[in-house]
Amino acid sequence: MDFDFNITIVGLGLIGGSYAMALKNLRPKNIWAVDIDQEAIDTAQQLGIIDKGYIDPKIPLKNSDIIILCVYPNKMIQFIKENKNYFKKGAILTDTAGIKEKVIKEIEAVLPEDIDFIGGHPMAGREYKGIGFASEDIFKGASYILTPTQRNKAENIVCIEELIKKIGCKNIMKITPKKHDEIVSYTSQLPHIIATSLVNGAKKEDTINFIGGSFKDATRVAHMNTSLWTELLIENKNHILDKIIVFEKEIKKIKEALIEKNQNSLEGLFESAKQKREELI
Amino acid sequence: MDFDFNITIVGLGLIGGSYAMALKNLRPKNIWAVDIDQEAIDTAQQLGIIDKGYIDPKIPLKNSDIIILCVYPNKMIQFIKENKNYFKKGAILTDTAGIKEKVIKEIEAVLPEDIDFIGGHPMAGREYKGIGFASEDIFKGASYILTPTQRNKAENIVCIEELIKKIGCKNIMKITPKKHDEIVSYTSQLPHIIATSLVNGAKKEDTINFIGGSFKDATRVAHMNTSLWTELLIENKNHILDKIIVFEKEIKKIKEALIEKNQNSLEGLFESAKQKREELI
C-alpha cells in the first residue's frame, strides 16, 4: 500500500521517537523531525529513524504533508502560533496530547483555512521519558482516540486513521474534544492522582518491607513525567475535580459500611466492582 | 536436610492448596489435610499433594506436629475452639490470615498450654480462589510476616521460620500482631478499597473503550475473593478508617493545588511520590 508522504515529527521525546520508529517502517517519502535539542536529533539520526532533523522548523514544514506534534500541550499551541505561516498548503496536523478541548480551540482560532488540525491521543506510553525509551511497540494493539471537529475535512480524518492503523493501533475511537477530556480525567488522570496520594501517604518505615502486589500495582504510575502531568492536570482541572468527587463518594460508601460493620453492604460493593471490572477490561 | 514432621493443612483453598504443593516437595513424614468439602479433598489427593484428606479433623490432628490453618479468620477461631483438645502435645499451629490481633487474642485465650500458635501472613496470593488456582510458585520470593507473642516458644518460632524459608519465601519479618494489622491496612487493604471505588465510580459507557494501563493496574485487585475481604476489612476497620483519612488528606492536597492552579505545589507532590516510590519498591 502506498505511503507517499513527507512527514515531520515535532518533538523527539518518548512518543515522538516511538512515532518516528513506527513510521520509518512504513517507508514514507521522507521523515523529518524538529526538536530544540540537538542531542535528540543526533540520536534519532544515528538510530536511522528519521531522514533528517532540524532545530529550525521552517525548512521541513514547507514540504510536509503530515505533521505529528509530540510536545507538551502549551508548547504545541505556541509552536503552531509561531509557525502557522510556514505549513504547506493542504497539510494535515495531528497531535498526541492528553488534553484536547482547550488545545483544539486555541489552535483552530489561529490556523490558516487550508491547514487541518485533527486531535489525537494514543492510549500508549511508558513511565519514562525521552527518546532513549522510545519503542515502536508502544502502539501495537493500543487504543487511539481521535477528536475531529466540524472544521476537519473527511478525507483528512481518513488519512490519519489509516496512518494510525498502519503503526499497529487497534480501536480507533472518535469523540468530541470535550468528551475526551471528561473521559480521560477518570480513566487516566484520576489513577495518577490516586497513585501519587497512596505513595505520599505511606509511612516509609512501615511500608518498605510490607508491600504486596496490590500496593505495587496501584502506585506504578506514581513514576511519571511530572512536568507533563502537572500541565495536563491543571489544564483539565474542572473535569478532574468533578471526578475526584465521584471517587470520594465511592470511598465514603465503603467507610460507612465499615463503620456500621455492614457485611452485606460491603460485600455488595466488592461484588459489583468485581463484576464491573470483568465487563470493562 | 531433615523435615521429619507430620503436617496437617486446614482448608484446601488457594493458599492451603499452594501450601500443600510447596510442602509436598520437602517430603515431610506425612502431609494431611482437613476440609469440609470432599471435592477439594479428592482434588488434592488426585494431584498427589497430600497423603490423605479428612472431613473429621480429629484423626490427623492427634498425630500432627505442625498444623497450618488456611481458612477465613473467624472460621479458624471456631475451628480451634472446637478442636483444642485434639491437638498432639507440643504441636505448633500457624495460620495465613490477613488480620492478626483479634485472631491471636481469641486463640491464645482458649489454647491448652502445651500447644503453640504462631501467627503468620504470607504476602502472597492471587485474585482467584479455590484449590484449582493453587500453585507452589506463589511463595517463591514472597515476603512473609510472622507475629510471635510472649507465649510462643523460641524453638517453635525457629521451626516455622525454617519451614517458610524452605517453601521459597524471602524477607521474613517479625512484628507484633497489632503492628501487622496497622501496616497491612495501608499497604494491602486500602489498595483494595481504592480499586473497588475506582471501578464502582466509573461510568460504563464512558470507560469501556478508554482504559489505559493506569486504570487497569489500579483496579486489578477489584477482582478479589469478596467474602474473605469483607471479613478482613470489617475485623480491621479501626486501622482502615484511620488510613482512609491519611489517604484522603493526600488527595485533598492535590485538589487544592488544582483549584489554585498551583503548578509548583502539584509538581512537588508528583516529584515526592515518584522519588518515594523508587525508594519503597
- Residue whose C-alpha is closest to residue A99's, from A180, A45, A190: A180
Q: How far is B178 from chain A (nearest CA, A)?
A: 13
Residue A18's pLDDT band, with cuts at 50, 70 and 90, is very high
pLDDT at A245: 98
pLDDT for B1 beyond 60:
no
Whether the complex's predicted ipTM is more than 0.85 is answered with yes
Q: How many CB pairs under 8 A join A and B?
A: 284
Q: Would the CB atoms of B173 and A247 count as touching at under 8 Å? A: no
Contact B221 A224 (CB under 8 A): no
Q: What is the CA radius of gyration of chain A?
A: 21
Nearest-CB residue to B200 (from A173, A182, A276): A276
CA distances for A28 relative to A8, A76, A184, B123, angstroms = 11, 24, 32, 51
Predicted confidence band at A2 (pLDDT cuts at 50, 70, 90)?
A: low
**pLDDT, tens digit, for every residue of B69-118?**
999 999 999 999 999 999 999 999 999 999 999 999 999 999 999 999 99
Residue B75 counted as domain residue: yes
**Residue in A closest to B202 by C-alpha:** A186
Between A210, A247, A271, which is nearest B183 by CB? A210
| Same domain (yes/no): B158, B189 | no
Contacts of A219 in chain B (CB under 8 A): 273, 277, 281
Neighbouring-strand partners of residue B89: none
3-state secondary structure of B263: helix
Whether B222 sits inside 8 A of A145 (CB atoms) is: no
Which pTM does this prediction carry? 0.92
Q: Outline where chain B has alpha helix (H).
A: 14-24, 38-47, 58-61, 73-83, 101-110, 154-166, 177-184, 190-200, 204-207, 213-218, 226-235, 237-259, 263-280
- Residue A148, pLDDT above cutoff 50: yes
The pLDDT value recorded for residue B72 is 96
Domain presence at residue A1:
no
Chain A interface, mutation test: which of B175, B176, B198, most A Cβ atoms within 10 Å? B198
* Segment B174-203 mean pLDDT: 97
In the structure, what pLDDT confidence band is assigned to residue B3 with cuts at 50, 70 and 90? confident
* 3-class secondary structure, B15: helix
Tell me how far apart the alpha carbons of residues B255 and A243 are, in angstroms, rounded to a whole number.
11
Check pLDDT > 80 for residue B255: yes
Same domain, yes or no, for A51 and A145? yes
Percent of chain B clearing pLDDT 90 (strictly above): 89
* One domain for residues A191 and A137: no
Mean pLDDT on A19-27: 94
Nearest to A254 among B193, B218, B243 (CB): B193
Whether residue B13 sits in one domain with residue B139: yes
Average pLDDT over residues B200-212: 91
Q: What is the pLDDT averaged over residues B166-186?
A: 96
Facing residue for B250 by CB, picked from A200, A203, A208: A200
**B54-70 pLDDT tens trace:** 999 999 999 999 999 99
Tell me if B186 and A196 make a contact (CB, 8 A cut-off): no
**Considering only CB atoms, which chain A residues are within 8 Å of B193?**
251, 254
Among A169, A199, A237, A245, most B C-beta atoms within 10 A, so best to mutate, is A199
pLDDT at A86 over 80: yes
Which of A112, A143, A175 marks a domain boundary? A175
Average pLDDT over residues A260-275: 98
CA distances B255 to A248, B266, B272, Å, are 12, 9, 16
Same domain? A137 vs A251: no
C-beta atoms of A226 and B274 within 8 A: yes
**Would the pLDDT of A104 be above 80?**
yes
Mutation choice for B interface testing from A100, A270, A281 by most B CBs within 10 A: A270
Q: Are strands B6-10 and B30-34 parallel, antiparallel or unpaired?
A: parallel
Q: Which of B174, B202, B221 is the last residue of a domain?
A: B174
A132 plus A188 within the same structural domain: no
Cβ of A251 and B248 within 8 Å? yes
User: Do A30 and A169 lie in a common domain?
Assistant: yes
pLDDT score of B177 more than 60: yes
CATH at residue B20: 3.40.50.720
Q: Do A276 and B183 touch (CB under 8 A)?
A: no
- What would the mean pLDDT of A136-142 be, rounded to a whole number? 92
Contact across the interface for A195 and B210, Cβ inside 8 Å: no
Distance (Å) from the alpha carbon of A146 to chain B's nearest alpha carbon: 12
Q: Give the three-state DSSP class for B129.
A: coil
Q: pLDDT-derived band of residue B274, with 50, 70 and 90 as boundaries?
A: very high
Task: Provide, as residue numbers in chain B, all residues whose Cβ is less than 8 Å from the Cβ of A214.
Answer: 187-188, 191-192, 195, 220-221
Mean pLDDT, chain A, whole residue set: 95
Percentage of residues in chain A having pLDDT higher than 70: 99
Inspect the interface and report whether the beta carbons of A226 and B272 lie closer than 8 Å: no
Total structural domains within chain A: 2
Q: What is the pLDDT of residue A75?
A: 97
CB contact under 8 A, A204 and B279: yes
Contact B266, B258 (CB under 8 A): yes
pLDDT in tens, A153-187: 999 999 999 999 999 999 899 999 999 999 999 99
pLDDT of residue A1: 47
- The pLDDT assigned to A34 comes to 98
Q: What is the dihedral of CA B150, B155, B159, B161, to 10 degrees?
A: 50
**Is the residue at B1 inside a domain?**
no
Residues B153 and B265 placed together within one structural domain of the fold: no
Looking at residue A113, what DSSP letter applies? T
Closest partner CB to A276 (pick from B125, B199, B250): B199
Kindly tell me if the per-residue pLDDT of B31 is higher than 90: yes
Confidence of residue B2 (pLDDT cuts 50, 70, 90): low
B184 and B157 within one domain: no
pLDDT attached to residue B249: 98
Which residues from A are below 8 Å from B280, CB to CB? 199, 202, 204, 207-208, 211
Same domain (yes/no): B276, B160? no
| Residue B43 belongs to a domain | yes
Interface test with A, best of B175, B207, B215 (most A CBs within 10 A): B215
Domain final residue pick, A126, A151, A175: A175
Average pLDDT over every residue of B186-203: 97
**Mean pLDDT across B234-239:** 98
CATH number of residue A225's parent domain: 1.10.3660.10
Residue A66 sits in the same domain as residue A106: yes
Closest CB to A200 among B182, B276, B279: B276
On the question of pLDDT at A23 being above 80, the answer is: yes
The average confidence (pLDDT) of chain B is: 95
Q: Which three cell numbers stand for residue B271?
A: 516529584
Based on the number of CB atoms within 10 Å of its own CB, is A77 exposed (0-12), middle (13-18) or buried (19 or more)?
buried
B252 has a pLDDT exceeding 60: yes
Q: Judge if A32 and A125 occupy the same domain.
A: yes
- Which residues span the domain enclosing B257? 180-280
CA distance A221 to B268: 16
